[in-house]
Structure 1
């Protein structure tokens, strides 16, 4: 098995780094990726022109694609819409918000929405995943799926030393469920910094992988996105950083896969 994935997040159209976004598109079009994944926050404030720009950019990228919403993809200023129909604009311009999935040749990828338009806490931008959401993901996987990937916006367990927090309600339980289900990767964004680390559950071979941002909202890390290559015994994650003129490797991780 060999698969190549492009993993982007937090592009924030309306506040994107235009040169970095354009160059990422060029690399992806030339890269022969099996799947392009965007783990949320396509927009800055979920304004219609931002979604139109995001949709146009996605149309220029190769298929297949899997795109999950983030907290910035719920309207920031339209309070009533954010509370009662938070992802209507996302679904109009991009695709289904609750869940998306892709399966091919034993490779299975499932996206689940961890963003909410409103929550019973002041900071509604933080993440939330219900036990039922996690159970639906686990139930979707099939015994023949040799590579299992979950895509969320918020890291389910906090990145140690990260530039910001996700504070995902239900995140720990979901992480345990995914580890028990032998998920290989849980891809996320939100904190604007790339990282990898194993979940401390089950066999320790379920890995959280975070992508950086392609926006001007840098948090001590240059604009970046991830390229992921999976072979039988190894998962290689390369965070590519934008230098202002080109992309170059910023960090590279080699992660051991569990035995088949």
Structure 2
């Protein structure tokens, strides 16, 4: 198996790094990717013009694409809408919010919405995944899926030393369930910094992979995104950083794949 994925997150249209976003779009069009994934926070405040800018940029990216929402894609200023219909704008202008999927040639990708418009805690921007969501995703995979990927916005388990927390309710349980389901990658964003690490469950071959941001809201890391290359025995993740004129490798990880039955 050979596969190339582009994994972007936290573009935050309305507060995007315009040059970095334009250059990323050009790389998507010329990079020969098998799939482009955006793991949430397309917008800054979920305003209509921000969604319009996001959809115009996405329209120029080659198919196929899988896009899942983030907490910034629920209106920040329209309180009633955020509580009662948090992803109405997203679904009207971008696509389905609860879950998304893509399957081709033994590769299966399932997107899950871990964002909420309101929660019974002060910081509603933190993540949440229910057992129902996690179980539905795990059960969706088929025996013939030789590469299994879950896409969420919030990291299910905290990044050690990260610039901010996700504090995902249900995250630990979902991570363990995805290990049992032999998921290979759980892609996320939210913290604006790239990372990889294996979940501490099962055979140690289910990896959390986070992408950085393409916005001006940097948290100690330059704007950037990830390119993922998968071969039979290895998953190589390259975090690219925008220098102001070009993208250059920022960090690279080689992750061992589990043996295929």
Query: TM-score normalized by structure 1?
Result: 1.00
Deviations 1:20-44 (A, max 9, x none): 0000000110001000000000000
Deviation at 1:180, TM superposition (A): 0.6
Taking the aligned partners of 1:200 and 1:2, their CA distance within structure 2 comes to 27
* Aligned-pair Cα RMSD in Å: 0.3
Deviation at 1:205, TM superposition (A): 0.4
Q: Secondary structure at the match of 1:255?
A: strand
Taking the aligned partners of 2:118 and 2:66, their CA distance within structure 1 comes to 24
Taking the aligned partners of 2:170 and 2:27, their CA distance within structure 1 comes to 36
Taking the aligned partners of 1:51 and 1:188, their CA distance within structure 2 comes to 20
Taking the aligned partners of 1:2 and 1:109, their CA distance within structure 2 comes to 16
Report what 1:161 is aligned to.
161
Taking the aligned partners of 2:126 and 2:69, their CA distance within structure 1 comes to 13
Report what 2:217 is aligned to.
217
Number of equivalences: 260
Taking the aligned partners of 1:83 and 1:64, their CA distance within structure 2 comes to 32
Whether 1:35 aligns to 2:35 is yes
Deviation at 1:249, TM superposition (A): 0.2
Q: Secondary structure at the match of 1:16?
A: coil
Report what 2:247 is aligned to.
247
Can you give the 5+ residue segments of structure 1 that lack an aligned partner in the other structure? none
Deviation at 1:240, TM superposition (A): 0.4
Report what 1:195 is aligned to.
195
Report what 1:149 is aligned to.
149
Q: Secondary structure at the match of 2:138?
A: helix
Report what 1:111 is aligned to.
111
Taking the aligned partners of 2:242 and 2:208, their CA distance within structure 1 comes to 23
Taking the aligned partners of 1:69 and 1:116, their CA distance within structure 2 comes to 10
Alignment of 1:70-149 (within 5 A): 70-149=70-149
Deviation at 1:174, TM superposition (A): 0.1
Taking the aligned partners of 2:71 and 2:84, their CA distance within structure 1 comes to 14
Taking the aligned partners of 2:57 and 2:104, their CA distance within structure 1 comes to 25
Deviation at 1:213, TM superposition (A): 0.1
Deviation at 1:48, TM superposition (A): 0.1
Can you give the 5+ residue segments of structure 2 that lack an aligned partner in the other structure? none
Deviation at 1:49, TM superposition (A): 0.1
Taking the aligned partners of 1:64 and 1:95, their CA distance within structure 2 comes to 14
Deviation at 1:147, TM superposition (A): 0.1
Runs of 4+ aligned residues of structure 1 deviating over 3 Å after TM superposition are none
Report what 1:11 is aligned to.
11
Taking the aligned partners of 2:153 and 2:215, their CA distance within structure 1 comes to 16
Taking the aligned partners of 1:212 and 1:85, their CA distance within structure 2 comes to 28
Q: Secondary structure at the match of 1:258?
A: coil
Deviation at 1:259, TM superposition (A): 0.2
Taking the aligned partners of 1:250 and 1:64, their CA distance within structure 2 comes to 26
Deviations 1:189-235 (A, max 9, x none): 00000000000000000000000000000000000100000000000
Q: Secondary structure at the match of 2:133?
A: helix
Report what 1:63 is aligned to.
63
Q: Secondary structure at the match of 2:128?
A: coil
Taking the aligned partners of 1:28 and 1:48, their CA distance within structure 2 comes to 25
Report what 1:53 is aligned to.
53
